[in-house]
Amino acid sequence: MSRFTHRSVFSIVALGVSASLLTACSEPVEDTAATNGAADSGETTTLTVYTSEPESKVDEINRAFMDSNPDIEVEVYRAGTGDLNARIATEKETGQIEADVLWAADSPTFEGYAADGDLAELQNVDADAVIDEAVDEEGHYVGTRIIPTVQDWSDGAVGFY
């Protein structure tokens, strides 16, 4: 049995929050009894994740998630953020985004989708373990990591933003 580090446990929790709550432009389920019936009957529910995260990280977290949720099968489409955005744009044009969860690294991606109305509003999210700055004020997404960006200005100064 492998031991999880504090970082991997946080990632698992973050994916659990994301997998349960972050959705791309999917329509809400009309008949929740049908959804609940699938879990009650032993049928597997499939959750489609679009991600730009590294494969090893995604595989580790998905294994842990599926071990904790044996009635949910996770299917992953992994590509760079630009390719994910192109796929989502194409799917949006055809009328249905196939992703249930979008797991990407940069907040501008989420900000754009939120501004376009493509993200569902999160309900009853327990994000107490996440820093306030990583939780969208509008309730559309929760960040799972902070990536500092460094810029070298021509005068030799280095800045973080």
Whether 89 is covered by a domain: the verdict is: yes
Whether 1 is covered by a domain: the verdict is: no
pLDDT at 160 over 60: no
Total domains in the fold of the chain: 1
Whether 155 is covered by a domain: the verdict is: yes
CA distance 66 to 152: 43
Taking only the tens place, the pLDDT of each residue in 117-156 is: 888 888 887 888 888 878 888 888 888 777 777 776 666 6
Whether 105 is covered by a domain: the verdict is: yes
Which 3 state secondary structure label does DSSP give 116?
Answer: coil
Query: 141: which 2 tokens?
Result: 């997404």
Q: How confident is the model at residue 16 (pLDDT cuts 50, 70, 90)?
A: very low
CATH number at residue 68: 3.40.190.10
Whether 83 is covered by a domain: the verdict is: yes
Kindly report the number of other CB atoms within 10 A of residue 132's CB atom.
7
Taking only the tens place, the pLDDT of each residue in 31-85 is: 333 344 455 566 889 999 999 999 999 999 999 999 999 999 999 999 998 999 9
Q: Mark out the alpha helices in 69-128 (DSSP H runs).
A: 81-94, 107-115
φ, ψ for residue 78 (rounded to 5)? Answer: -110, 130
Which residues, 6 or more positions from 62, have their beta carbon under 8 angstroms from its beta carbon?
Answer: 15, 49, 74, 76
pTM over 0.85: no
Element (H, E) at 107: helix 107-115
Which residue range forms the structural domain that includes residue 49?
Answer: 6-160
